[in-house]
Structure 1
């Protein structure tokens, strides 16, 4: 009986302990070290100080800066931005590291974003310092640096005709780049070409550094062409970056076309499709026939100096004329075809026989008329010559390429 009583006492004690556990004894046994201490509410402090206590009253600020610190070969057209999400911009100073020249910028209406207002320079180191403020009023001040594309990757271009120049209806627009263009489509998109006549043309790439543009037919007489070039910051490929924006305006004059007939030794000039002049000529002989097709007048020289060796003629060759000066020379090709006053020895054969080295020889009256009344961009069409047309890049032979071929990439 005593043993049973003792056992019952032990069971009762265990039950009492269990009751204590159910009543919250575990909470007392496993409480962290802060149990029982007072915990200040976050609503009474400007920012949360301990992770995991409660949802923060102040949203953590997120800072985004472009370009990133230490960035190299930054495109000078790339945006320079400091953005504080859940914060505001107090100040930003962007300067050239060497000269200290400041780059202007503006802060957005909500104060969250600062953006540089102008393009940067090539091959330049920049530094920028900024101060941002979070929602609790705490300031963060930082300084960063970056450098832009070096001179070795700065791409320039030359444009012809030049801005404001007046040319004939046959003059294509030409852009020659200092560096190879791989991203041709991007470059074409950066070139907006419009005309007062509403003509639409196409680009034709002759190489990775030279492209031309013309319409299907000749430019409309007395129209104006405007080319807006937005090449600054355009990636030409392989990290080569365009370095300029420019607008080029070109005026087109009257339509002037000379039709030179090699078989009949005559040349007729049409102005705005109306007959204007008729001349007798001598053209390229059997060994040096005049180039066929369309040629575009390039430049004029009152007196031009010809050297036979420049076209491969050597002493002893019956065709070697040595060196001589000719008058009223209007260039057709860089390789040496001109319209010019015939030499004294050739004058007697004008209108009867072809004996030039590819040039169109005329008497003084004819050559001087062309010199004084036709110019850059006007056209010469050579017919009935046994020669092929000149190479498209030997002058401006663009008009000898069928349109479908010219307009295809």
Structure 2
């Protein structure tokens, strides 16, 4: 009978409880403290849960990825400053220098990522202040500081030819860095060179600081070359960082090529492969033979002062000529080879014998024509001389290196 009346008895018991509650009137909490539920606090007012609650879902804490690190030094100014938030969103960002300059940035559509726009400044301390809100509405503020690459680690460069120059077809492109370059591949990738002729070329490093570029054959006459150098932020190695971007445009003139024949004692010139002139010449004697191969015109002076002591000659040496001025001088090498008007004492020998100290001596008409009509980047090929090739770093000896060996 107990089992049979179980449901009835349960109903009676529940009725009794209801009666007690009713009797309590407004004193519900006092009459039945075990029945009341505790107050449910909002997640915004309590720590984020990391384990499930009875009735409240888990709110994962916001996770941040920030670059650069707080207190970082020697930060590459080309590296973007970034903030990424997981389980939350970005409320506010401010990136400023100690001087109060502001750096702009871009916020993603979902508000979860911010990235600085543009480059930073070298040798500058930055303050990165940001505020993020997690999915429960809690706000967190933070400030980080970092310093960019110091002035001592900035790497600059000198570029030749200069922007806007007009040069001859044999002019290599040269970049000389202020600091040694260890990461050559990175530097070469940051330099894009194009020509309206469509010619492709290659780089060759002549030292740790100097790199040149040329095509397989001379540049096409009357073409235009563009050097697009994106070297800001490129790491050269040993902590040195490039500090500039620059575009250089160079115009190439007519193809002007001279041939100096030490055996025939002649100097002949063609323009765009058409002969335009031929003059008698005197070149280096047996003691000072003219350098062989291609020599690229560098600069010219209406009058150039020459000093025998600069090539190691002293009074008493039969070859000593003291100091003298020569007319219509066009430089071929930094070490002192020129095309110039022959001296008065050498004039009777032009076209007949070689008696210079390596220079190419011409008569007044020939020397003036070269001075007036040929320019930087034009080229002379010296043949039938007993001289060796000029050192590759003595002027532009690039064209004396076989193309297959040029890139190293």
Q: TM-score, normalised by structure 1?
A: 0.88
Q: Distance in 2 between matches of 1:219 and 1:288?
A: 32
Match of 1:77 in 2: 78
Q: Distance in 2 between matches of 1:77 and 1:341?
A: 53
Shift of 1:57: 4.2
- SS of aligned partner of 2:74: strand
- Residues 45 and 121 of structure 1: is their aligned pair in 2 closer, same or farther, counting only changes over 3 Å? closer
- What residue ranges of structure 1 are gaps of 5+ in the alignment? 1-34
Superposition map of 1:229-244 within 5 A: 229-244=229-244
CA deviation profile, 1:324-363 (whole Å, cap 9, x unmatched): 0011000000000000011111111111111110001111
Shift of 1:92: 1.1
> Is the Cα–Cα contact under 8 Å of residues 47 and 57 in structure 1 kept in the other structure?
no
Match of 2:127 in 1: 127
- SS of aligned partner of 2:282: coil
Alignment of 1:64 onto 2:65: yes
Match of 2:215 in 1: 215
Superposition map of 1:284-363 within 5 A: 284-363=284-363
> Is the Cα–Cα contact under 8 Å of residues 47 and 136 in structure 1 kept in the other structure?
no
Q: Distance in 1 between matches of 2:50 and 2:366?
A: 96
Q: Quote the RMSD (CA, aligned, Å).
A: 1.6
Q: Distance in 1 between matches of 2:160 and 2:65?
A: 44
Q: Distance in 2 between matches of 1:53 and 1:206?
A: 68
Match of 2:51 in 1: 52
- SS of aligned partner of 1:164: coil
> Is the Cα–Cα contact under 8 Å of residues 46 and 58 in structure 1 kept in the other structure?
no
- SS of aligned partner of 1:281: strand
Alignment of 1:225 onto 2:244: no
CA deviation profile, 1:91-111 (whole Å, cap 9, x unmatched): 1111111x1111112211111
Superposition map of 1:274-293 within 5 A: 274-293=274-293
Deviates more, 1:317-326 or 1:105-114: 105-114
Q: Distance in 2 between matches of 1:178 and 1:82?
A: 34
Q: Distance in 2 between matches of 1:271 and 1:41?
A: 94
CA deviation profile, 1:207-227 (whole Å, cap 9, x unmatched): 111111101111111111111
> Is the Cα–Cα contact under 8 Å of residues 297 and 331 in structure 1 kept in the other structure?
yes
Q: Distance in 2 between matches of 1:252 and 1:392?
A: 23
> Is the Cα–Cα contact under 8 Å of residues 191 and 230 in structure 2 kept in the other structure?
yes
Match of 2:100 in 1: 100
How many residue pairs were aligned?
372
Q: TM-score, normalised by structure 2?
A: 0.88
CA deviation profile, 1:372-399 (whole Å, cap 9, x unmatched): 1000000000000011110111000100
- SS of aligned partner of 1:404: helix
Match of 1:148 in 2: 148
- What residue ranges of structure 2 are gaps of 5+ in the alignment? 1-33
- SS of aligned partner of 2:51: coil
Q: Distance in 2 between matches of 1:241 and 1:138?
A: 41
- SS of aligned partner of 2:399: helix
Match of 1:12 in 2: none
CA deviation profile, 1:149-205 (whole Å, cap 9, x unmatched): 111211111111111111000000011111111111111111111111111111111
Q: Distance in 1 between matches of 2:52 and 2:83?
A: 32
